[in-house]
Structure formats: C-alpha cells, structure tokens
A = this chain, B = another copy of it.
C-alpha cells in the first residue's frame, strides 16, 4: 500500500486553513492528475497546529474542528477519492471531568470520519503541558485498512508514544509502553504522528527511537513530523520511514520545508521477498550548524508571517549578536524587508559604526543612524533634580539601552515592523541585558544560543561550508558575510568608555560551559565545583543567574533550539531562595 507522509506547516488555531493544507498535501501526491496514495498521514494535532495551548479550551475552535473534518470528508466524497486521511484532532470526552480531551487521530474517508487512536503518553515536561488539556488513553490503537484486496494491519501512535526508550531518551514517562502492547499485533507498519520540536542533534535520536521500535515490532515505522515555527518552537519536519535492522531511513523528508512523499509499504507476510526499497538519499543537512541556522531562519520567517508582519527591524551595534540576527532576518524575510538602526552613543567606538554599516551593505539591508547623545543628556537633565544626583552606574547604562529600545519601538510602531531582539542566552542567564531596553522585541531570535554558539555559527557562515546554504537562502556572494572585524572584536556592550564584557563576567570560554551545566544539567553549586568549574566563578554566576529571573520572566518569546531554553519550558519562581 502507498502511504503518503504529509509534512505540513499548520497555523495554530486555523482549523479550516489547516484542513486546506492537508488537502493540498494530498494533491501533492498526484501523478498524472491522480492521487497516488492509499493513506495520507499528517502530524500530531495537524488540524490545530502544535501547540494549540489554551485554544483547546475554546468552544469556537472545537466547533470549527467538526466543520473542518466534515469538509475534508465532503471533499474526498466529491472528488470520489478512495484514500484515507489520518488527521490529528482533539477528541472531546462525553463526561464533564477534567481534562476533557484526548489527543487523538481521526481517520477521514469519503464515507465518513471517526477517531481511531488516542495518545497514551502525555508529556508534561519542558515546554509540554499536555496533561493540562488531555487525558491519557490506556489502550493501544491499531487500524485495519483494506487495500488491494488485502487487510493491512497498522499500529497507530502519537509522538511521545514512541519515546519509551529510557536509555536513548534519557528519561521515560511513568505509564504504559505503547510499543510493547503492539508486538502481538503482527503489524505491517507502525505509524507515528508527531509534533516534535527541533533541538540540536535531535534528528539522530528520533531515528534511533524509531529503529528500536521497528526492531521490536519487526515492521517499518512511518514517522511524520510537523514543520515550521510556532512562537518559540521550531519544528524541523524531517519525517522518515525506517525499517528493522536498517540504520539509514528508507525514506527521508527534508528539514524545514513543507513536503509530501509517498512510500510504498510491503505487507509483513511478503516483506522478506520484497527487497525493493530504494534507499533514498537523505537531504537532511548533516552539519549541525547548518541545521541550527536553517532552524532559526524558519523560526523568524514563520513567526513574522503568522503574526502578519512583512518586515523586521533590529538595532545593529557592530557586535556579533546583532550581526547574526541581521543575517537570519535577511535570510528569513529577504534583505529588502529588513531595516537596521545604528544608535551610537559617545561610548560607541567608531569601529562599531563602520562595522555595522559594512555588514548592512554586505547583506543589502537598509540602515539608518540615530545618535542618542542628545536624549542621554535630556534624561540626565530631567532626572538629576528628582534624584538629587546624576544617574550613574547601572542606572546610566540602562538608560542608554532604554533610549535605544524606545527608539526601536517607535520606528517599528510607525512602520508596522516586527522588532527583533538580539540578546543571547549567556546574557539572559546572568542578567547582562536591560529589561525594556535591548531586551525589547516581539521575538528573541538568538535567545537560546550561548555566546560561544553565536561565534561558532558566525564562523560557519563565513566559511566555505556555508556556501551552498547561503546561496540557497539568497545570502549572496562567496566572501565573508559577518567579516573579520566583527568576528574578532572583544565582546562589549559599549555602555561606558572602554567597557568589555570580560570586565564584569568571566571570559565566555569559562562562562558558557558553566552556564550549560547550570541550566541544561541543573547542577547545584557543589556539583558545578565537582565538575571542575572555578569555585569563585560558580558563586558569582549562581548569584547573578538567580537574580536575573525577573528579567527572563518578561523577556520576549525566544526561539528554542536547545534541550533547555528559557521560555515556556523554564518555570522558576522569582521571590524565592
């Protein structure tokens, strides 16, 4: 039988639009004007877009879901299509107990639609809140489909249901093993409908988990993942089919692109005699930094598009963080739709201004210079009588940052642009950033990248390895994009004369590994020292880290690319010890 993997990019809450996207995926399977699939598989909650969050409580949306399913069915009927669609839905339980929903799959055919599977393992870790909305099912789901005069036995699973391997995943949810209960079923294939967010190096893990399940079930696993950005989450797609005993997927869909591919399954009884699986070349970028870059581009593009913005604005300082964000924005929206603002103060080095302008020219984005000295003096004059003193120290530094943040918001407001925030994860961790100043923006593009990753990504962008990717994304020319001047400049906020980040923080080579252990591993002070970090650094950084929680709470949504990002998967109290 022919199974189509429909890797769609849904808009969250747009149930009727997402039904159209599913229908379009079906059309994409056409060969000579004829749909060439017996079953089309879509991602988890594909009618809603993942994660729908509290929209799942909306009566209006639940009603639209019914309409969307009815319409899909009617279209199959009208087009006389003998195909079944597996669609991700929220099923309402008949009783009134809480939570009221199942995370489910509906089978839509020309003659009707019905729920055929319910999710068993509901993640409530990190960014996931599924127990807020869903009840867990306790029974495995199978689907028998008659195709070519044969009954095909399919196992149905939803995302986490496949993540049962503690060894591989590092954790395992308390609950049943949905794969184990399917072993006696002698399946022809296991379907997994997913909405699995991108994080670095996660693709391999998914392959391994699916291969393990294929091995246990002795049948291929068809893994269909959502693609596209939804607020802080980026979905890479990269759907695939993997068979038992194979390291390489039988079929691999691209990362970060809408795509539908058809895979022809052999039944389990004649599998051994059918070695006709054409190994399709994976067009997944092998390079981790390339995947990271493409992920961030997708995140910006989809956040802007889905919010209705055509253009973006950012402050360009001449430093490496804003340089990287400018490149990402140009790739996401096109250089013509990106504007940069240079806002020098008396403490800005002339090099910074020149470097920023040169970068804008290389990228082909607009740039304007708006000096802030007059406004700095204006605030000083206004505040001094009220304070009985001049604003000084951190207050004066924050003022510069807030003047810039206010200028950026005014430009973005008047011009209808999305303001992109340019802070990185290291800064956000230690509070080396100004609330209502440089943190301003609708989206924190690199808020989940440590400073050292920012450097690595920028070095990659300027290396020959990035050539093909840059060409594809319209970041033309083979010369350097970021450029040596920006790459080699010592990090500085330039908020006072001759300031360097290293005046107040350990060098990033020392800071970032410490932060990774603190954040990603949630190590205690004792454990950090045990892991070899400098005890003075540990004490100082732990203190800064905890005191910055109030800033992180008010930060814009940030694109998650690591296992542990600040954002909705990071929930610490503020008034706490």
Contact = CB atoms under 8 A, between A and B. Distances in A.
A173 interface: yes
B395 A414 contact: yes
A575 B230 contact: yes
A407 B395 contact: no
Interface in A339-398: 341, 368, 370-372, 374-375, 378-379, 381-383, 385-387, 389, 391-395, 398
A12 interface: yes
A383 B413 CA distance: 12
B410 A395 contact: yes
Nearest to A11: B577
Each complex incorporates copies of this chain amounting to 2
A563 interface: no
Nearest to A573: B12
Contact of A554 (B306, B370, B556, B575): B556
A571 B54 contact: yes
Contacts of A307: 550, 574-575
A102 to B, nearest CB: 11
B522 A576 contact: no
A570 B568 CA distance: 12
A203 interface: no
Contact of A573 (B17, B53, B57, B527): B53
A53 B98 contact: no
B571 A17 contact: no
Interface stretch (A124-132, A179-187, A471-479, A503-511): A124-132
Contact of A132 (B124, B378, B575): B124
Contacts of A258: none
B554 A54 contact: no
Interface in A384-434: 385-387, 389, 391-395, 398-399, 402-403, 405-407, 409-411, 413-415
B58 A522 contact: yes
Given A13-B576, A442-B550, A575-B306, A414 B436 contact: no
B572 A302 contact: no
A99 B53 CA distance: 21
Interface string A120-142: 00001100010110010000000
A440 B550 CA distance: 12
Contacts of A522: 57-59
A295 interface: no
A60 interface: yes
A577 B387 contact: no
Contacts of A391: 410, 414
Contact of A402 (B11, B54, B135, B409): B409
Contacts of A63: 524
A223 interface: no
Nearest to A61: B524
Given A306-B576, A410-B399, A526 B129 contact: no
A554 B371 CA distance: 28
A129 B135 contact: no
A302 B576 CA distance: 11
- How large, as a class, is the contact surface on chain A? 35 or more
A409 B414 contact: no
A557 interface: yes
A398 B13 CA distance: 30
Nearest to A97: B174
B382 A372 contact: yes
Nearest to A368: B386
A51 interface: yes
A538 to B, nearest CB: 12
Contacts of A132: 124-125, 129, 571
A374 B381 CA distance: 10
A303 B549 CA distance: 14
A383 B575 CA distance: 39
Nearest to A174: B97
A2 B572 CA distance: 38
A408 to B, nearest CB: 10
A515 interface: no
Contacts of A229: 575
A81 interface: no
A542 to B, nearest CB: 10
A411 B383 contact: yes
A577 B387 CA distance: 47
Contact of A553 (B386, B395, B399, B557): B557
Contact of A12 (B131, B135, B577): B577
A521 to B, nearest CB: 9
B60 A524 contact: yes
A244 interface: no
A201 to B, nearest CB: 21
Contacts of A550: 307, 442
Nearest to A523: B59
26 contacts: A11-B577, A12-B575, A12-B577, A13-B573, A51-B573, A63-B524, A96-B172, A97-B171, A97-B172, A98-B125, A98-B173, A125-B132, A129-B571, A131-B131, A135-B174, A230-B576, A307-B575, A370-B382, A374-B381, A387-B411, A387-B414, A395-B414, A398-B410, A402-B405, A442-B550, A554-B554
Given A55-B572, A97-B166, 17 more contacts: A60-B525, A60-B526, A96-B166, A124-B124, A125-B132, A131-B131, A230-B573, A370-B386, A379-B406, A382-B407, A387-B414, A389-B414, A391-B414, A392-B414, A398-B413, A409-B435, A409-B436
